[in-house]
């Protein structure tokens, strides 16, 4: 079974960008393209470089949304804990 690489992958995008701009791809972008991303929809790891640009953007927007949800939940829990602590200190 061969792995299907999207013809508009990030790797190909950066190769085209190098040709168009005559500038090398920054090393941090090359490192990012080698990093793995766990795709929950495919239940497997995918290299960022093999993702198409739209998939890359959507996956990062999902990460941001997940992080904002976690921050909101933790903020609510923090408020609850502060209220309980304040009550305990008041009764002590």
In a domain, 2, yes or no: no
Inter-residue contact 59 to 41 (CB < 8 Å): no
Q: What is the extent of the structural domain holding 50?
A: 10-91
Q: Is 47 helix (H, G, I), strand (E, B) or coil?
A: strand
How many structural domains comprise the chain?
1
Q: Residue 70 burial (CB < 10 Å; 0-12/13-18/19+)?
A: exposed
In a domain, 4, yes or no: no
In a domain, 27, yes or no: yes
**Model pLDDT for residues 21-59, shown as the tens digit of each residue:** 999 999 999 999 999 998 888 899 999 999 988 889 988
Say how far apart CA 77 and CA 4 lie, in whole Å.
Answer: 44
CB atoms within 10 A of CB 9: 20
**Model pLDDT for residues 67-87, shown as the tens digit of each residue:** 999 999 999 999 999 999 999
In a domain, 81, yes or no: yes
Percent of the chain with pLDDT over 90: 59
Q: What is the pLDDT of residue 48?
A: 92
pTM for the structure as a whole: 0.63
Q: What is the pLDDT of residue 81?
A: 95
């Amino acid at each position: 079974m061969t792995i299907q690489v999207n013809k508009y992958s990030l790797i190909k995008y950066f190769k085209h960008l190098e040709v168009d701009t005559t500038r090398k791809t920054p090393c941090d972008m090359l490192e990012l393209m080698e990093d793995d991303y766990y795709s929950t929809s495919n239940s497997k790891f995918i290299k960022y470089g093999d993702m198409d640009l739209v998939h890359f953007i959507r996956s990062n927007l999902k990460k941001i949304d997940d992080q904002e949800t976690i921050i909101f939940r933790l903020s609510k829990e923090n408020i609850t804990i502060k209220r309980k602590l304040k009550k305990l200190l008041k009764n002590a």
